[in-house]
Structure 1
């Protein structure tokens, strides 16, 4: 099945303004302390850590993400809305799908795309009531 999506051009119901909680520190720690040299060479980061290289795995067909490459929480800094679309974009162009869209995509294209739960935290610290899943698109044309 072929489908397409357009990235939103400004913050709102489909593009959340915020940042990942603890993710950058966890990625750097993984790179410095646990990432095998072979994996660094394959990613082209043998000479040093590169945010764009790791974040590039969100939006390009560069293989399955390891658990430590999947952000667990996204904190919204401000929002005009209390509800979001079924498909949203988080920092570094990471798409996230709600439960219904995730189920639909998995039913139509089983085993192609990677999903993991991601907590969305609202500006006042409360957890967004609807579960979202980070989504690594597995096939690009």
Structure 2
């Protein structure tokens, strides 16, 4: 079995936050430092569209096409160093869903992920700043999930559990389908009915599904068991079937 992790959550895994300082730095880069060739690739051509393109780099695979634009690699200046918390939280989850599609994990969860998949995913230090200007006491890291799979089996899943399947031609001229999504967000039974290929998962512990938009992030039974054993709080997650 495997587990899908929800990105639409509330509570300790989705604190109220903003990346205002980071957005200001991106805007400055867009207006003052960005090469013309790079600016020409951004549609529409304004700083807000650039922020959106950077956000997509944390969620989509490099080289994929999103909103008619090719997802480019993250540049060094596109990793935020701090996020502003809008409340004085006393506790937070080990896995945080933040603005700009950024995910942060605490030191304990980072160690679990790296123990199971060393060198697969990218981490960088991310400072959590409370409204009074002090740092949140626990250490967090942003994470880029760098494993993308195509393990969803629509042909083995009950039709009432999902929708989507937009047809497109890939670079090799082959007709494919993507943008599968659960039919009924938050309906546990629908998530439980979704079927994935054990062979295509091939021992992965943390990944995104290329052809799915909701859910998109998945963890293995092994990682889930390690998280439970450590008593870590992560966003709502539902078990899916594997065959």
TM-score by shorter chain over 0.5: yes
1:47 deviation in Å?
A: 5.5
1:19 deviation in Å?
A: 0.7
Partner of 2:18: 19
- Name stretches of at least 5 consecutive residues in structure 1 with no aligned partner: none
**Structure 1 residues 54 and 82: CA distance shift in structure 2, 3 A:** same
**Structure 1 residues 3 and 113: CA distance shift in structure 2, 3 A:** farther
Mapped to 2, the partners of 1:15 and 1:138 lie a distance apart of: 22
**Structure 1 residues 40 and 106: CA distance shift in structure 2, 3 A:** farther
Residue 45 (structure 1) aligned with residue 29 (structure 2): no
TM-score (norm 2): 0.50
- Name stretches of at least 5 consecutive residues in structure 2 with no aligned partner: 63-71, 149-208, 210-243
Partner of 1:85: 93
1:9 deviation in Å?
A: 2.7
Residue 129 (structure 1) aligned with residue 137 (structure 2): yes
Structure with greater strand share of residues: 2
Partner of 1:113: 121
Who wins on radius of gyration, i.e. which is larger? 2
| Residue correspondences, number | 136
Once the two structures are overlaid, the 10-residue window that deviates more, 21-30 or 87-96, is 21-30
Mapped to 1, the partners of 2:136 and 2:13 lie a distance apart of: 14
Partner of 2:61: 61
Mapped to 2, the partners of 1:3 and 1:118 lie a distance apart of: 26
SS at match of 1:127: coil
Residue 101 (structure 1) aligned with residue 109 (structure 2): yes
1:108 deviation in Å?
A: 1.8
Mapped to 2, the partners of 1:70 and 1:133 lie a distance apart of: 11
Mapped to 1, the partners of 2:123 and 2:84 lie a distance apart of: 19
TM-score (norm 1): 0.82
Contact preservation (8 Å) 1:54, 1:69: yes
